[in-house]
Every structure is written in C-alpha cells, then in structure tokens.
Amino acid sequence: MTEWLIASNNEFKTRDLIKCLAFYGIQAIPYTNELPKLNFPAEQTDSYAANALHKAQFLAKQTTKGVIADDSGIEVNALGEHLGVTTKRELHQDVSHSDNQTILNAMQGQDDRRATMVSTLVAIAPGQAPVTAVGRVSGTIATQTRGTNSTGFDKLFILPHQQCTLAEMSDEKRLPLTHRGRAAKQLAAELRGV
C-alpha cells in the first residue's frame, strides 16, 4: 500500500495523524483529496476500537484505496467517568469555551492532575481484514495552555519528567511520544508486508 486515506473530517486530527504516520514511513492524505466530504456514521459510546472500525469500514466502501481511521480521547483521573470515548461529544456541549478551556475549568481546585491520552487506529487495505493499533500516553494536565508546535490537548499535556507541554516540543521530539505517534508506530509494524 503506497498511500492511505485518513477517515476523518477533523482537519487538525488529520494533519497530526498524517505527520505521525509519515514519521514511521506510512504515507497518507486526507480522504477529501480524493472524494467529496462525507458524513461519517455517529460515534458510539462503547469503545475507541469500535468507533475507529466503523469510520474505516464506512470510508473503505467509498474507495479502492486503503483507509486509516482514528478514535481518540483523553481520560482525566479527577473527572472520573467523564471524557474518554465520549471526549469530543462531552466537551462540545460547552459551546462558549474551547475544549482545552472546558477541561481547565473542570480542573479548577483539583490537586490530582493525572491524565491519559488514548488513540486507536484501524487500517483497512482493499481485500484485507482490518488491522488495529493502540497508543496510550500518561502524564498530567497543565494549569494553562502552552505551546504552538501542535494543537488540541497537546497544549495541555505534560509527560512525566518534562517541564513543557507536548505542544512546546518540536515535531521530531513530540511525534513518537504522543498517543497517535505510539499507535502509528504499532500500526506500521502491523502493516509491514500488507
């Protein structure tokens, strides 16, 4: 497989995933480079893997190219059962604040700032069974957004033994350390020979 299509309408996620995949030798492009914009099926609340699989299967029916889908989220210890698989849906309920600001508001007064970011990738090559890869990274939530080298939760997320957020790191340092980067590394290993 020489070039994969990313099954997402989120341009920031797509751009980040393309960078992570390229870091491990997988070439990918936004699916909208090949197809008109599609309405993906609604996500479920069961699992990252199920959501990624549904997106990948949906796009695979529209193209003869291989497709890669991502479902990801952030799990914050102090917020209990909130976020995780339903991260985007929960955060988008607060339309007056960015996703990051909504998390910061919820974390006010919390001493426990531990968090985990999770990414599940599903790749489907024509005529092949789906291949799944998972990346997880644990760290803490900063007290304010910092950094311009990345977007989203990278602006809030600090790895253990680091003083900077992921978004303050260069791509060369950041990509292999992120949840998507780790999932991309695993996926690249799984896809060798596909």
Going by DSSP bridges, is the β-strand pair 28-30/4-6 parallel, antiparallel, or unpaired?
A: parallel
pLDDT of residue 87: 61
Mean pLDDT of 63-86: 85
Residue 92 above 90 pLDDT? Answer: no
**Residue (of 76, 41, 69, 67) closest to 124 by Cα position:** 67
For residue 184, the number of C-alpha atoms closer than 13 Å in the C-beta half-sphere is 23
**Residue (of 136, 137, 134, 152) closest to 52 by Cα position:** 134
Domain regions of the chain by residue span: 4-191
pLDDT of residue 1: 57
Residue 173 above 80 pLDDT? Answer: yes
Residue 84 above 80 pLDDT? Answer: no
For residue 76, the number of C-alpha atoms closer than 13 Å in the C-beta half-sphere is 27
In the chain, the percentage of residues whose pLDDT exceeds 90 is: 71
For residue 88, the number of C-alpha atoms closer than 13 Å in the C-beta half-sphere is 14
Contact indicator for 33, 27 with CB cutoff of 8 Å = no
Residue 132 above 90 pLDDT? Answer: yes
**Residue (of 32, 100, 98) closest to 65 by Cα position:** 32
Q: CA–CA separation, 20 vs 177, rounded Å?
A: 10
Q: Which of 133-137, 183-187, 190-194 has the lowest mean pLDDT?
A: 190-194
161 burial type by CB count under 10 A (0-12 exposed, 13-18 middle, 19+ buried): exposed
pLDDT-based confidence at residue 90 (cuts at 50, 70, 90) = low
Active site residues: 71
Contact indicator for 142, 100 with CB cutoff of 8 Å = no
In the chain, the percentage of residues whose pLDDT exceeds 70 is: 91
pLDDT-based confidence at residue 169 (cuts at 50, 70, 90) = very high
| pTM of the predicted protein model | 0.91
Mention the CATH class of domain 4-191.
Answer: alpha beta
Three-state SS at 65: coil
AA letter at 37 = K
